[in-house]
Amino acid sequence: MKRHGYPQPTGLYHPSNERDNCGVGFMAHLKGVPSRQIVTGALEILVNLTHRGACGCDPLSGDGAGILLQVPHDFLKNHSTELGFDLPEREEYGTGLVFLPPDAAQRKVCQDQFERIIQEEDQVLLGWREVPTDNSHIGKTAKAVEPHILQVFIQQRELSATDRMAFERKLYVIRKRMENFVRSSELDQSSYFCVPSLSSRSFVYKGQLLADQV
């Protein structure tokens, strides 16, 4: 693929590999051992990348920042009992944050369709969690477009020891079907809808934030 305005392919460089990205930092344990230290270090990296973000005339509203981490199973297990359901074992359920319209009626349309798609894809909706939020330190620009945030939990109906990625693919299909539904809908607040991630392995916190607000 020809990319205009880039240098010609030379050595290991090829213009087809160019991407428009902001700053990205990476921190992990080589043996996959989760720890608070990894999260703390990743947040420190994020703050050190503040110069890679952007803000407009509102200095407290950024163009977006977040963190990707392993699904915090132990934390969620402790909180799931408050919602009236128990979580299965690790990687036997998927979860993700869902940004929804502030309007209650339009939010219900999205939730109902989400639940319908989960059923059509032969998976099990465990429930929704109202995510605690604090917008006291974000800018007025971000507050003006602040979504209602819920967390969805989806259980794998049939376990497959031979294909653990089958559930991940199913969660991807559910997310994409939901995005397509909202995109083609006539909801006035469709632009509020977003599913940053839906996975049994990874979890994304993000928003129209500055790095140090995360």
CA dist., res. 167 & res. 88, Å (int): 14
Is 22 designated active site?
yes
CA dist., res. 165 & res. 169, Å (int): 6
CA dist., res. 135 & res. 66, Å (int): 15
Question: Which residues, other chains included, contact 72 with Cβ-Cβ below 8 Å and sequence gap of 6+?
Answer: 203
Please check whether residue 15 is in contact with residue 6, taking contact to mean a CB–CB distance below 8 angstroms: yes
Distances (CA, A) of 48 to 24, 25, 175, 196: 10, 9, 32, 23
Q: Which two tokens stand for residue 201?
A: 């392995």
CA dist., res. 114 & res. 124, Å (int): 12
Q: Which residues are catalytic?
A: 22
